[in-house]
Amino acid sequence: MLIKKSLLLALTLGLLEPAAAQEGLAGPYLAARHASFAREFQTASKYLEQVVGEDSSNIDAMETLILSKIALGVFEDVYPIADRIVDDGVDSQVAHVALITRAVRVQDFKALVAQLDAQKGIGHQVVDGLLLAWANVGAGDAQTAFAIMDGLKDQEPSQGLVSYHRALMHHVMGDFESAEAIFKDIGQQAGALSRRAVIVRLQSLMAQSEFNQAEAVLEKYFGENLDPELLELQDDIKASRMPNERLIGSVADGIAEVFFAIAKALSSEAQDEYSLMHARVAELLSSEHVEAILLAANVLENMGQYELATKVYQEISPDNPIFHLAELGRAEALRDSGNVEAAIEALENLTRSHPLMVRAYRTLGNILRYDERYQEAIEVFNDAIELTDPKDQSAWRLFYARGIAYERLNKWPKADRDFRTALQLNPDQPLVLNYLGYSLVEKKIQLDEALAMIEKAVDLRPSSGFIVDSLGWVLFRMQKYKEAVPHLERAAELEPVDPIVNDHLGDVYWAVGRKREAYFQWQRALSFDPEEVDAERIRRKLDVGLDVVLQEEGADPLTVAQSDD
């Protein structure tokens, strides 16, 4: 583990009872706890400042305040707090990170060496070793830096990370030949380099005027599918010129890369607060570290902090080669925050500025589809499909999404055609198999084919409650009620608060004579806020039973088992 237990979680659970609560600060403390639980960093900072201002002994509140401030991208305010924590002799990872950041920003690398030599780092052997090595590079002691790296090279499972940073150090110091030798070895040993590692390797080759080799490396790792950033780099290679700026060109950039690696690792472990902190540090230390900006914004989205996420996405300027990724992310955050029109406007602008970018059209089409603007969505998907190679397997997403829009408009022949085209491109796609199979079930047509499709989808994704529900539902439609029961029960276990899944389970219970359980499931379904048309039908079933409802609808009657009443 790179981190301690989340202090924010401890605070929100009331595990850290401050003396401040006994000194008239119970109100601000409780407000801070509530805001921290909701990850409302601005509000949490406001109240935590009050707590810390009155209770200088409350280390937990100070650490949480540092986390909140860094989440907001505000660093200057945290340094005095971090100094206070360290001066009190507290071993605080959060405070150490803040002070590392300050030392790098003012380029006081000797002070950073002293801090890390005193074991005031992250608390992880490899990470602290990398930071100490970089600090020595900054202090002008490359010999010590590489000696530290030698001591880290056999650390499992971090050899690749250590080798990468050794290459970066050579690159930053201008020893491009040594950097390339290490990059080449990493590629041979691990089989692949990260995108950022490849770009630095390309720039090392370009610095040696090895433009032909750089072109071969670019082709090896990225093929012909180049985004705007890589196209710009390709142009530089073909013109035999160096890019305006190196991706990693300073010690601060190298240290930022260490923090970015931590942020990525923690994001995969759902450690959102600490992932965000490290991403924000990487962003601060290397202002052009757009991947850190994107990661920070993405983590904020995961936290439900959409307004702050949109602000972070906007930190990437329109002239940046990967501005389009920021705009795609910003549009998603706007939609998730309920600002659908702003999301649509952003994506429409993106399709105009990047008229060949299929992903922009696909994202726009999906947002229109989610907003039930199906005809507009279809028109956007049409544009995307025209830009796509008909043999491109990834195009299944476009046909699938357009098929859903057609289905929602009751244009079944067109929907059916699109779903089947999607399956031709990707025969084992469980989402398409399930949607097409379920649609056939709802239309009560081609039930044998629908059953085969959904069984295949369940085999491919057995933990999807909605797909398992489809299997149970097609069996129900085929009047195989007893066979349907375990599948619909399993679906309700996987999706316990979905109204339709619970409604289906109620229907099958009714069909096998378990009427009391049927009523219970229908009542549960109503409690989960179904769409009004579904809610009205469920209420009618509660009033008169499923048999009468089917009779009123002119549907085929059930072969009902003996009642349990």
pLDDT digits (tens, 9 = 90+) for 515-530: 999 999 999 999 999 9
pLDDT confidence of residue 16: 42
Phi and psi angles of residue 389, each rounded to the nearest 5 degrees, phi first: -65, 125
Q: What is the pLDDT of residues 132-189, one digit of tens each?
A: 999 999 999 999 999 999 999 887 778 889 999 999 999 999 999 999 999 998 877 7
Residue listed under structure tokens 């599918």 = 225
How many angstroms separate the CA atoms of 236 and 73, rounded? 33
Mean pLDDT to the nearest integer, 2-30:
51
pLDDT reading at 81 higher than 90: yes
User: Per residue in 322-345, is it b (16+ CB within 10 Å) or e — as a string?
Assistant: bbbbbbbbbbbbbbebebbebbbe
pLDDT confidence of residue 227: 86
Where do the structural domains in the chain lie, given as residue ranges? 1-90
**Using an 8 Å Cβ cutoff, are 546 and 518 in contact?**
yes
Q: What is the DSSP letter of 191?
A: S
How many angstroms separate the CA atoms of 43 and 32, rounded? 7
pLDDT reading at 551 higher than 70: yes
Q: Which of 331, 368, 370, 373 is nearest to 349 (CA)?
A: 331
Q: What is the pLDDT of residues 230-289, one digit of tens each?
A: 999 999 999 999 888 889 999 999 999 999 999 999 987 767 889 999 999 999 999 889
* Exposed / middle / buried, residue 321 (Cβ in 10 Å: 0-12, 13-18, 19+): middle
Instruction: Report helix, strand or coil for 322.
Output: coil
| Tokens standing for residue 288 | 């052009």
pLDDT band at 2 (very low <50, low <70, confident <90, very high): very low
| Tokens standing for residue 211 | 């433009």
Q: What is the pLDDT of residues 391-437, one digit of tens each?
A: 899 999 999 999 999 999 999 999 999 999 999 999 999 999 999 99
pLDDT reading at 15 higher than 70: no
Phi and psi angles of residue 211, each rounded to the nearest 5 degrees, phi first: -70, -35
**Using an 8 Å Cβ cutoff, are 259 and 282 in contact?**
yes
- Cβ neighbour number for residue 45 with a 10 Å cutoff: 22
| Tokens standing for residue 405 | 């829009």
pLDDT confidence of residue 396: 98
How many angstroms separate the CA atoms of 203 and 199, rounded? 6
Q: What is the DSSP letter of 442?
A: H
Mean residue pLDDT of the chain comes to: 92
**Using an 8 Å Cβ cutoff, are 290 and 326 in contact?**
yes
Half-sphere exposure of 509 (CA within 13 A, CB side): 22
Mean pLDDT to the nearest integer, 71-85:
95
pLDDT band at 328 (very low <50, low <70, confident <90, very high): very high
Q: What is the pLDDT of residues 451-500, one digit of tens each?
A: 999 999 999 999 999 999 999 999 999 999 999 999 999 999 999 999 99
**Using an 8 Å Cβ cutoff, are 61 and 32 in contact?**
yes
pLDDT band at 57 (very low <50, low <70, confident <90, very high): confident
- Cβ neighbour number for residue 489 with a 10 Å cutoff: 16
Mean pLDDT to the nearest integer, 94-111:
97
pLDDT band at 13 (very low <50, low <70, confident <90, very high): very low
Say which residue, 329 or 188, is predicted with more confidence. Answer: 329
Write out the E strands in 16-107.
none
pLDDT band at 190 (very low <50, low <70, confident <90, very high): low
Residue listed under structure tokens 């025209």 = 386
pLDDT confidence of residue 270: 66
pLDDT confidence of residue 467: 97
**Using an 8 Å Cβ cutoff, are 80 and 113 in contact?**
no
